[in-house]
């Protein structure tokens, strides 16, 4: 069985702030987000009025539709982050720039290297 698509903060902010989460789940089914992405979405919902609804929407999504992936430093995740970022995971996590994108891609690579076919939903060309 293939894992849920892994989503970055940008698409989540856009769908959730417009109360279009049903469209997202109807299209993709259950999704996953790294802890870093959830934290980013919650932070942005508190500082940008465009995203006011995000915290409320995140709070009402059932666990069977939204899985939050732990960003704990496992050997597999740390190896992938180091390979992609060129820095140890603990050092790279100190910089917030494109951290959500890095964690989305890193979780996807870990799953792909274990034999899964992975889909990511990301909207940042630089990240």
Give tens-digit pLDDT for 2-13.
789 999 999 999
Give tens-digit pLDDT for 2-53.
789 999 999 999 999 999 999 999 999 999 999 999 999 999 999 999 999 9
Packed helices 35-47 and 99-113: angle between N→C axes, nearest 10 degrees: 160
DSSP helix/strand/coil, 33: strand
Give tens-digit pLDDT for 113-127.
999 999 999 987 665
Cα angle: 19, vertex 15, 11; to 5 degrees: 165
Task: Give me the pLDDT at residue 75, please.
Answer: 95
As a whole number of angstroms, the distance between CA 21 and CA 109 comes to 26
Task: Give me the pLDDT at residue 3, please.
Answer: 80
Residue 66 has pLDDT above 70, yes or no: yes
As a whole number of angstroms, the distance between CA 3 and CA 19 comes to 25
Average pLDDT over residues 84-111: 91
Task: Give me the pLDDT at residue 127, please.
Answer: 53
Q: What is the mean pLDDT of the chain?
A: 92
Query: Nearest Cα to 107, choosing from 66, 59, 73?
Result: 73
Task: Give me the pLDDT at residue 125, please.
Answer: 62
Residues contacting 93, CB < 8 A, separation 6+: 71, 99
- Strands 31-34 and 66-69 turn out to be parallel
As a whole number of angstroms, the distance between CA 116 and CA 22 comes to 26
Domain boundaries defined on the chain: 6-121
As a whole number of angstroms, the distance between CA 39 and CA 47 comes to 13
């Amino acid at each position: 069985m293939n894992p849920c698509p892994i989503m970055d903060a940008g698409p989540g902010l856009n769908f959730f702030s417009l109360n279009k989460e049903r469209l997202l789940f109807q299209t993709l089914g259950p999704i996953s987000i790294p802890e870093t992405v959830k934290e980013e979405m919650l932070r942005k919902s508190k500082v940008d009025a465009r995203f006011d609804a995000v915290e409320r929407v995140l709070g009402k999504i059932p666990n069977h539709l939204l899985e939050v992936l732990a960003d704990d430093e496992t050997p597999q995740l740390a190896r992938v982050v180091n390979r992609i970022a060129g820095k140890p995971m603990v050092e790279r996590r100190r910089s917030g720039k494109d951290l959500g994108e890095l964690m989305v891609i890193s979780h996807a690579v870990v799953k792909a290297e274990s034999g899964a076919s992975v889909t990511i939903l990301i909207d940042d060309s630089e990240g």
